[in-house]
Structure 1
């Protein structure tokens, strides 16, 4: 009987360690993603890059080709206004994951439009 109890206890701790490891991996993945392609990399608000009037006009025309108003608001909020996904999610009354999904889909669509 003691052996059975120690096996279930072992499984319990094994599962807990797996959950903790998964959370750590996820946090590191998010951190790396932000370091590689951080939101500030494209933000006019915090960037040293001073876009010309022509490039700003082109950028806004490109963003306005997006078919969804929500998608346009997500792209403008993150890349023009320099908001975080969490801040934007609160403003748009949606989840941070929802904002992230909109961002990925709209960037994909912008990429396809440009090519």
Structure 2
């Protein structure tokens, strides 16, 4: 099996896989939705809106920040987070491209 860096895998596929992996947790999806709904930088209030400890929220924010979906800025003693709109738009484009490139037949296939 080829490694993720194999030349047959496109840069888009690698980026999409990393981003989807980061989103593959309900708490991270909730954080993305929360930040997108607020449409502004959010500081400590994220913890107030989720049934998770501060340290857990911080770990999830770190994973989202590593793939570029979330941006963080330090303001005094706290870090404020917001959605990275360009990254979210790129994710949408990549997911749309994935599904546009699939042959999804609606006819009955003799598979499995």
TM normalised by structure 2 equals: 0.33
Q: Which of 1 and 2 has higher RCO (CA within 8 Å, sep 6+)?
A: 2
TM-score between the two structures when normalised by the length of structure 1: 0.32
More helix by share: 1
